[in-house]
Amino acid sequence: MSESFKDLADLKKLGKALKKLKEEQEATARERARQEREMQCEADIFRRAVGDVTPLARQNRADVMASPPQPIPHQRHADEREVLRAAMSDEFDVTTLLEVDEALSYRRDGIGPDVVRKLRKGHWVIQDEFDLHGMRRDEARDSLADFLREVTKRGLRCVRIIHGKGLGSVNKEPVLKKMVHKWLVQKDEVIAFCQAKAADGGSGALVVLLKGRG
């Protein structure tokens, strides 16, 4: 029980870190936009003040060295990549968040059980799918993250993730299937998922419900 509480606490810390990072990035973007507006305004005022000017002849010009570019904050970029990588950790204990019943399912806190029931019955049309067959773990994790980001931008609500049944893996263990469960519960845009119906892949696939726009 103590391990479960620890995992949940770690997940909350991770969520706060991601939120803080997003807020810092947004604040930086706003400050940059404000500075650009001020520079444009000052340039307009200067042009109005000096009026038309005659360019200097080439021989009367002085070559001015351009200011060196600001150093790239490599450490900060590395820290940001580490936070994003942690957002889909392979070590996450999925059992602390999964609701297990006759068919494996998950619903985020605050989402009613009726949502999972509707998802199983096909209430939402599957709008896109992604097949992870043949991918190694790292490739599958990164590709899945890219796919979820893309379909979320497109405003899709329901997608299918095909992870396979593991029949071709060592000891017939569905390793990728277990990893997909761990990754999905760590993505904020995922609010529920369940095992697909037999016609849609059965135990070799998941039907995933995503947050709507707004």
- What would you report as the CA-atom Rg of the chain, rounded to the nearest whole angstrom? 25
Region 96-112 average pLDDT: 72
The amino acid occupying position 6 is K
Residue 83 pLDDT? 47
Q: What is the spatial distance between Cα 168 and Cα 134, in angstroms, rounded to a whole number?
A: 10
Q: What CATH number labels 94-210?
A: 3.30.1370.110
Higher per-residue confidence, 81 vs 114: 114
pLDDT of res. 168 = 56
Q: Give the pLDDT score at 84.
A: 45
> Could you give the count of Cα atoms lying within 13 Å of 31 in the half-sphere of its Cβ?
6
pLDDT surpassing 60 at residue 170: no
Among 168, 202, 194, 164, which Cα is nearest to 101's?
A: 194
Mean pLDDT, residues 12-31 = 82
97 vs 195: which has the higher pLDDT: 195
Rounded to whole angstroms, the Cα distance separating 146 from 129 reads 13
Mean pLDDT of 168-179: 67
Average pLDDT over residues 72-82: 55
Contact yes or no for 208/132 (Cβ under 8 A)? no
Stretch 170-189: mean pLDDT, rounded? 81
Residues constituting the chain: 214
Task: Tell me the domain boundaries of the chain.
Answer: 2-51+75-86, 94-210
Higher-pLDDT residue of 141 and 7 is 141
